[in-house]
Amino acid sequence: MIKEQIPDIIVGRLPRYLRTLLILRETQTTTNSKELGKRLGYSAAQIRKDLSQYGEFGKQGTGYNIDFLIDSLNHILNTDRNWDILLVGVGQLGHAILNYTGFSKFGFHIRAAVDINPNVIGKKFNTCVVQDIGKMKEIIEENQIQIAMLAVPAENAQETAEKLVEAGIKAILSYAPTTLSLPPEIRVEYTDPLISLQHMTYYL
Amino acid sequence: MIKEQIPDIIVGRLPRYLRTLLILRETQTTTNSKELGKRLGYSAAQIRKDLSQYGEFGKQGTGYNIDFLIDSLNHILNTDRNWDILLVGVGQLGHAILNYTGFSKFGFHIRAAVDINPNVIGKKFNTCVVQDIGKMKEIIEENQIQIAMLAVPAENAQETAEKLVEAGIKAILSYAPTTLSLPPEIRVEYTDPLISLQHMTYYL
DNA sequence: ACGTGTGAATTTCTTCACAGCC
DNA sequence: GGCTGTGAAGAAATTCACACGT
C-alpha cells in the first residue's frame, strides 16, 4: 500500500470535494480547480495538488469531468461500496441517529444497534432492532462489521470503545464528548458540536 | 486584537485541551505537557508551544495547575460566560438537539428555535418554544443572539444561512451536509458525521 | 486562450534541545 | 531531578509560476 504516504490532511479534504461535486453535478457536467476552490475556500492550486496525488483526472483547457471525478473519489475513499455499521448506545442521540436516513444514500447502513438499557432493547427501527450490549461481539463477528458509531455517555465511552476493539471493530465514529485512547491501528473520528462551539466563540 | 495572529490550527486544539483537563481534574490537581500530550496524541512540545502563545501557565519542575489552566483556557476561548443560541430547523435532528442537555453545562443555551413547518411551531421544549421562521430576525435582534445552529435539509441550508447573516448572526454551526458560502467575517463550523465516515473508510 | 499537473519557492507547523527556574 | 518556555532547526503544507496539452 502506498496509501500510508499520502498525508491525512489531504485525505480529509477528499470527502469535501466529493460533496461539492455532488452539488455541482445538478447543474453542470464539468468543473475546474478554480470553481471548486472558490466553493470550498481552498486555493485552486491546492485542489490540483491534492487530486494529482491519485492520478490525472483533469484535462488541460477543460477542467474536470464531474461524473468521472466523483467516481474516482468514491473509489479512492472506498465509498464505492456499502458499509455496515453498529450503533452502540440508543439514548436520545442514538434515537436520532437511527431515525436519520441520510447515511444510506452514501452506502452507510446501520445494521445493528445495542444498548444496556432494557427499556430500549427490543425496540424496532427502520433498519434494525435494538439488542442487548452483551451480544455486541457476536453481532460484530457474525456480520463482519468494521465500523461502529459510539453514542454512549462520556463516562462509559472509553470502556465501551475498548470492548469494541476487542470485538474486532476497526473504526469508531464517536459522538461522545471525550478523547478516546485506543491502539493506533484503530481509526477514530469524533463528531463533536461542543468542540466546534468552543472553537468559534474564540472569534466572537 | 492580537488574536488574529494566532493560527486557527492552534485555536482548534484548545477546546480539546480543555476537555482533557476536565477529565484529569476528577483525579488530580496538577498535570504536565507529557501527560496531556499522551492523552491527546500530541507531542509534549506542541502543547507547551500552543499554550505559550497565550502566556505562561506552567511552573518549571511542576507542570500545570489544572484548575488554573482550565480557567485560563475558558477565558481565552470566551467560554467563561454564557452564550445564547438560535436553532434553525426542528426536524428529527433538531428535536435531538433540543432535547440534548449537554450544552448548557458549558454555557451554551438554546434560547430560541424556529421552523417553517406549522406542525412543530408552538411545540414546547425545555428551554424554548418553536416559533415561526418568519420571526427569525426579530428573535435574533431582541435577544442579541450571535450563534445559530443550522439543522435544516441540505437543499435549504445556503439560503437559510444567508438569511441568518442578514439578520445579524455572527457564527453558524451547521449540521447540514453542505458547504456554505458566506462572507469571511462569519464564522462557520460544520459537524458532519458523513464526512468523518468517508474519511475513515479510506483507511479500511 | 484555458486550465491542468508539477517542480521549485515559500510559508506554516512541528519538533528539537537546552537555559532557566522550582 | 523534573518540567516549562522558547529560539533554532527541521518537516510539512501551501502557493507560485510555467511548460504543456486541448
Pairing outcome for strands A171-174 and A187-190:
parallel
Share the mean pLDDT of chain B: 95
Question: Which of A 140-169 lie inside 8 A of B, CB atoms?
Answer: 146-147, 149
Rounded distance in angstroms from the CA atom of residue B42 to the C1' atom of nucleotide D2: 20
**8 Å CB contact of B76 and A181:** no
Q: What is the pLDDT of residue B2?
A: 41
Is residue B12's beta carbon less than 7 angstroms from any atom in nucleic acid strand C? no
Give chain D positions with protein CB within 7 A.
1-7, 12-17, 19-22
Q: Which residues of B159-169 are buried (b: 16+ CB within 10 A; e: fewer)?
A: ebbebbbebeb
Q: Which residues of B touch A201 (CB under 8 A)?
A: 77-79, 83, 147, 171
Nearest to A173 by CA among A50, A100, A86: A86
Q: Do domains A3-76 and A83-196 have the same CATH topology?
A: no
Cβ(A161)–Cβ(A182) under 8 Å?
yes
- What is the CA B162 to chain-centroid distance, rounded? 20
**8 Å CB contact of A179 and B16:** yes
DSSP states of A58-117? EETTTEEEHHHHHHHHHHHHT-SS-EEEEEE--SHHHHHHHH--TTGGGTEEEEEEEES-
Q: What is the pLDDT of residue B158?
A: 95
DSSP states of A144-181? T--EEEE-S-HHHHHHHHHHHHHTT--EEEE-SSS---
* pLDDT tens-digit series, residues B118-136: 999 999 999 999 999 999 9
* pLDDT tens-digit series, residues A71-110: 999 999 999 999 999 999 999 889 989 998 889 999 999 9
Q: Is the pTM of this model over 0.85?
A: yes
Find where cell 475513515 sits.
Answer: B200
Cβ(A91)–Cβ(A101) under 8 Å?
no
Pairing outcome for strands B58-59 and B63-65:
antiparallel
Q: How far is B11 from chain A (nearest CA, A)?
A: 7
Q: How many Cβ atoms sit within 10 Å of the Cβ of residue B198?
A: 27
CATH superfamily for domain A83-196:
NAD(P)-binding Rossmann-like Domain (3.40.50.720)
Q: Specify which residues B114 forms β-bridges with.
A: B88, B131
Chain B residue with minimum CA distance to A203: B187
DSSP states of B65-111? EHHHHHHHHHHHHT-SS-EEEEEE--SHHHHHHHH--TTGGGTEEEE
For residue B180, CA distances in Å to A26, A81, A107, B185 come to 16, 28, 24, 13
Q: What is the pLDDT of residue A3?
A: 47
Q: What is the pLDDT of residue A146?
A: 98
By percentage, how much of chain A surpasses pLDDT 70?
Answer: 98
Radius of gyration of chain A (CA): 19
What is the band of B58 on the pLDDT scale with cuts at 50, 70, 90?
A: very high
Question: What is the dihedral angle through the alpha carbons of A179, A182, A184, A190, rounded to the nearest 10 degrees?
Answer: -30
Q: Which residues of B touch A94 (CB under 8 A)?
A: none
Pairing outcome for strands A171-174 and A147-150:
parallel
B197 vs A174: CA distance, rounded Å: 11
The domain spans of chain A are: 3-76, 83-196
CA end-to-end distance (rounded Å), chain B: 44
**pLDDT exceeds cutoff 70 at B25:** yes
Q: What CATH number has the domain spanning A3-76?
A: 1.10.10.10
**pLDDT exceeds cutoff 90 at B3:** no
**pLDDT exceeds cutoff 50 at A1:** no
Q: What is the pLDDT of residue B92?
A: 86
**pLDDT exceeds cutoff 80 at B145:** yes
Chain A CB within 8 Å of residue B173 CB: yes
Tell me the helices (H) and strands (E) count for chain A, helix number first: 8, 9
Read off the amino acid at residue B200.
Answer: M
Cβ(A86)–Cβ(A152) under 8 Å?
no
CB pairs under 8 A between A and B: 166
B128 vs B87: CA distance, rounded Å: 10
**8 Å CB contact of B19 and A179:** yes
**8 Å CB contact of B196 and A191:** yes
Mean pLDDT of all residues in A26-45: 96
Q: What is the pLDDT of residue A71?
A: 98
Nearest to B81 by CA among B102, B50, B109, B111: B109
Q: Which three cell numbers stand for residue B84?
A: 445564547
Find where cell 461502529 sits.
Answer: A148
Share the mean pLDDT of chain A: 95
Chain A CB within 8 Å of residue B3 CB: yes
For residue B177, CA distances in Å to A60, A153, B137, B196 come to 31, 25, 24, 11
Q: What is the pLDDT of residue A101?
A: 87
Strand order in the sheet with B130-132: B130-132, B108-115, B83-88, B147-150, B171-174, B187-190
Q: Which three cell numbers stand for residue B133?
A: 421562521
Q: What is the pLDDT of residue B129?
A: 97
DSSP states of B144-198? T--EEEE-S-HHHHHHHHHHHHHTT--EEEE-SSS-----TTSEEEE--HHHHHH
**pLDDT exceeds cutoff 90 at A5:** no
**8 Å CB contact of B202 and A11:** yes
